[in-house]
Structure 1
Amino acid sequence: MAELVGPRLYSCCHCRNHVSLHDDIISKAFQGRNGRAFLFAHVMNIFIGRKEDRQLMTGLHTVADVYCCDCRQVLGWKYEKAYEESQKYKEGKYILEKSKIVKENW
């Protein structure tokens, strides 16, 4: 009997809460606080912290930390505003750190 295969997902590495679909990855070439990170168009089952300005490798951005809604672990951040024109494409997108997420249904 064949197994039913669902969509490829990413989950919180601490509690396995589903946080994004593989199809929502925009880029795997980002840097987080603790190493490699992925840029996602959409995430789910998270809550967003307070907005703050941060000087990142690509300039000044207004960002808000992204937390798992189940275990409250910081998974990355949301780009709220980019101050440099070349970085505007990040606005409204999410960074999830590779070390904070795991693959599901691969």
Structure 2
Amino acid sequence: MGRVFVVSLEGRVYSCRHCGTHLALTQDIASKSFHCRHGKAYLFNKVVNVTLGETDERVMMTGLHTVADIFCTRCGSIVGWKYETAHEKSQKYKEGKSVLDRHKISGPDGSNYWVSGGSDPDDV
């Protein structure tokens, strides 16, 4: 395995809560209406500094999807998942997009959803 290069983003950035590695920009949020087992999650058009795990078929609230967990390249923490295939026509918009778990990331202002008791400064 070669050396891992980490991309630094400019602007309002979401980062890994464990190591601070940049993961996504606020402008790349496709939806804030997603949920995961820890609570809120955001769907992003683009994420960086992540590696993909094995693909897996999962039945989610919106049907069957082929997804891969995504991990922070610096510390290896699982930060969400990527939609590879949506099996229902109405869910095809998710393909190629990634979901970041708000419990696993820090917000652009440094806030940690998991510490703040569920309040999310980005909702204002």
Which runs of 5 or more structure 2 residues have no equivalent in the other structure? Answer: 1-9, 111-124
How many Å separate the matches in 2 of 1:104 and 1:98?
Answer: 12
Letter in 2 for 1:19: L
Letter in 2 for 1:33: R
Give the Å deviation of 1:105: 5.4
Which residue number in structure 2 is paired with residue 94 of structure 1? 98
Matches within 5 A, 1:1-106: 6-104=10-108
Higher relative contact order (CA 8 A, sep 6+): 1
Number of residue pairs the alignment of both structures matches:
101
Give the Å deviation of 1:104: 3.3
TM-score (norm 2): 0.78
Identity of aligned residues (%): 50
Letter in 1 for 2:74: D
- RMSD of equivalent CA atoms: 1.2
Secondary structure at the residue paired with 1:15? coil
Would you say the 8 A contact 1:7–1:105 is kept in 2?
no
Moved over 6 A (4+): none
Higher strand share: 1
Which runs of 5 or more structure 1 residues have no equivalent in the other structure? Answer: 1-5
